[in-house]
Amino acid sequence: MSSLGQLVNADLLGALLLYMTPILLAAIGCVFTQQANILNIAMEGMMLTAAFFSIAVGAATQSVSLAILGAILSAMAMSALFAYVVLVLGADVFVAGIGINLLADGLTVFLLERLYNNEGSYTPSTFPQIWSLNLPPDWSNQPGLGILYHMLNGQTFIVFLALVLVVVSHVVLYRTKIGLHIRATGENPEAVEAAGLNPTTLKILTVMISGACAGLGGAQIAMATLNEFIREMTNGVGFIGLSAEIFGNATPVGSLIASAVFGLANAVADRIQVIPSFNISPDLVLTIPYVVTLVALAFAMMRRRRNRIA
Amino acid sequence: MSEGSVIDQDEALRTRAAAGLRSVADALVQPALTLAFALILGIVLIVAIGENPVAAYHAFLFGSFDNALDFGNLLAKATPLITTGMCVVIAFRGGAFNIGGEGQMYLGAFWGAVAGFTFVSLPGPLLILAIIVVAAVAGGIWAAIAGALKAFWEVDEVVSTLLMNYIAMLVTQYFVDNQFRDPTAGAPATTYIASQAWLPGILPPSAVTVGLLIALVIAIATWFLMFRTVWGANVRSAGTNRRFAQAMGVNVRRTLIETMFISGAIAGIGGAIEVMGVEHRFYQGFSPGFGFLGLTAALLGRLNPWGTLGMAFLYAALLNGAAIMQIQTPVPNPLVNILEGIIVVIMTAQARPRLGRLIGRRASAA
């Protein structure tokens, strides 16, 4: 098999989905907050909190549903704190966001040390298996079905849920009244106020939605493959999701495309390391999505400027 | 000059003095309340885990000042926060929110280290100067790219500097994984820089080096440049009111790019100080997020050089006190990370009328 064939195949698509999902969930969360004009620096910390509580609750209860619930509720507790200090107490969104990230790091490491006597990581001895797709093994060699098998077999339900959420959030934002209000909150809060609505309430709503998305994303990071929690295991995924949302122009569909680009870069960077004939550095492959985002942003702004002048 | 204008000036001065005093009081009350709240929360947490809060707090609050070693380590921790803090202050005064200090520092540290093990025949002071210049240019150019993107096409610099952080760190990772890797090093790191460029310690055996003095000079230079030079006045005028500055003949685009260059250069020098003072080589994991910590110090210091300097020391005292508490008492270090997070989360709450006005414009543009 050619080395390109070793790289570009259905397994690559499977890895893409695996890497893309937490980024996509973070990005969807950031779409809502961005539409309400809040730069969601706190996404990273919310996801880290969720990753910890998915493992802690799952190990304690041996229940997948409670693990997922724990992840979502813990991330939403962080987002509630973020919303409260920023939108009620008037704290600076930037400082408070960095604070949430520091707090999440401190809280998870503190609990690791207290509960499991280990500051670095926690691997439960038994952990419930997250619901994932199991396809018949004989699909793997059949034409057509083989691709599906390698791409989808073993993916968690969160992967499929994230894709559904792209459609749901698109519909909510662009086809419902509440979505219209959320978008208006960012663009023209005075108009929202004039219409008898409270922009602050709508902003709090978007932060809570982003917390729920962060919960699912954090659970996917911790439960999809390893079922363990490692200190700082989100490793910038929240920020990458924020970048993907910006790349995707703060729309759900745009974020899906951008997240796929980031997921692809991660999948390629991961896999070329085990294919010796590839002489490309994984570090450089990983820079591609950031460079593409930056260049795309510059071109978009350039075009906007030219149109304005013309 | 007419009598009226003298009276006006006098009154203006008095008003300004009063406002100044008010702002000093404001600036002190808020952090004091926040710290008090966090410390009380800390007591509750320490009692909750069954430890002795008095012993823990004694180590946490006073441990850094017990002896020269611990005090020196506090100063060492403050050094990188001062430079990354000043990097934010300068850019902000010029109307740009540079959150790319981390990436600019990485590039400065890396290219500074390359200079340090390349020009080995230079005598110490010259080599140190060469490393600083190379690091400043590396960090400066990286930030100036974001400045140019904003100046010419209005690309939001919060976004561009955030993205460029990742690019910078991946690029240095690439270099230390490949061409510049020292095969004898256990971790991804370059070879050591020439020993004549190793910054001497000033309170041995603590970790603080001459690098602290360089950082202090940078802080003073920041204040002087921004508040005592024509260039600084132009930067601040472009930062507060672009159109007005343009009407007054300031080349706004050029000023913005220059501002970002200086801002990034300072972050780059901060990276070089770490290389010359701490690791003596470029090591990929050298920063535990100095960029964001310095950013926080700058925001808590209300984007004023002196306030930022003070907050850099306060922040360093928290980090150092936590390490001492962990050694001296059974209370774990992460407890302080929780308190630190709480402090930063609530620090700017209610301070909105002042800080909010400074930052509000930025938040809405982002």
Question: Tokens 């990097």 identify what position?
Answer: B87
pLDDT of B163: 86
Q: Are B226 and B235 in contact (CB under 8 A)?
A: yes
What residues does B189 pair with on adjacent strands? B283
**For position B240, which CATH number holds?**
1.10.3470
DSSP track, B261-309:
HHHHHHHHHHHHHHIIIIISS-BTT--SSHHHHHHHHHHHTTT-HHHHH
- Whether omega for the bond prior to residue B205 falls within 30 degrees of 0, making it cis, is yes
Q: Measured between beta carbons, which residues in chain B are less than 8 angstroms from residue A112? A: 334
- Boundaries of domain holding A113: 3-309
- Angstrom distance (rounded) from CA A254 to CA A261: 11
Tokens of B327: 């050694």
Residue B242, domain extent: 3-365
Arithmetic mean of pLDDT over chain A:
89
A293/B158 Cβ within 8 A: no
Q: Which residues lie closer than 8 Å to A284 by C-beta, 6 or more apart?
A: B170, B171, B174
Give the separation between CA B161 and CA B149, rounded to whole angstroms: 10
Bridge partners, A132 (sequence order): A156
Q: What is the DSSP letter of B201?
A: B
The alpha helices in B178-279, defined as continuous H runs, are: 211-227, 230-240, 242-247, 252-274
User: B146-170 pLDDT, tens per residue?
Assistant: 999 999 988 888 889 988 999 999 9
CB-neighbour burial class of residue A5 (10 A; exposed 0-12, middle 13-18, buried 19+): exposed
Task: Please state the domain count of chain B.
Answer: 1
Q: What ranges make up the beta strands (E) of chain B? A: none
Query: What region, left, alpha or beta, does residue A249 occupy, with left being phi > 0 and alpha being psi -120 to 50 degrees?
Result: left
Q: How confident is residue B350, by pLDDT bands cut at 50, 70 and 90?
A: low
Across the interface, of B170, B174, B340, the residue whose CB is closest to A102 is B340
CB distance B130 to B115 below 8 Å: yes
Q: How does pLDDT run across A7-19, given as a tens digit for each residue?
A: 777 788 999 999 9
Matching residue, tokens 């902003």: A203
pLDDT at B358 over 50: no
| Over residues B209-223, mean pLDDT | 96
Question: For residue range A22-60, what is the model confidence (pLDDT) as tens digits?
Answer: 999 999 999 999 999 998 989 999 999 999 999 999 999
Give chain B positions within 8 Å (CB) of A294.
149, 155, 160, 163-164, 167
B66 or B219: whose pLDDT is higher?
Answer: B219
Cβ pairs bridging A and B (under 8 Å):
156
- Does residue B53 have a cis bond before it (omega within 30 degrees)? no
Structure tokens of B76?
């060492």
Q: Given an 8 Å threshold on Cβ–Cβ distance, is B341 in contact with A37?
A: no
Residues of B in contact with A189 (CB under 8 A): none
Residue A243 has pLDDT above 60, yes or no: yes
Using the beta-carbon criterion (under 8 Å), do B348 and A91 form an inter-chain contact? yes
Integer Cα distance of A14 and A259 in angstroms: 14
For residue range B89-107, what is the model confidence (pLDDT) as tens digits? Answer: 999 999 898 989 999 999 9
The residue among B263, B272, B273 whose CA lies nearest residue B303 is B263
What mean pLDDT, rounded, does chain B reach?
Answer: 86
Is the complex ipTM more than 0.90?
no
Q: How far apart are CA B24 and CA A172, in angstroms?
A: 47
Query: Quick one: residue A117, left, alpha or beta (phi over 0 = left, psi -120 to 50 = alpha)?
Result: left
Domains of chain A: total: 1
Overall pTM > 0.80: yes
Q: Are the C-beta atoms of residues A108 and A49 closer than 8 Å to each other?
A: yes
- Show residues of chain A in contact with B177, CB under 8 Å: 281, 283
Supply φ then ψ for residue A174, to 5 degrees.
Answer: -110, -10
Question: Nearest C-alpha of chain B: how many angstroms from A196?
Answer: 22
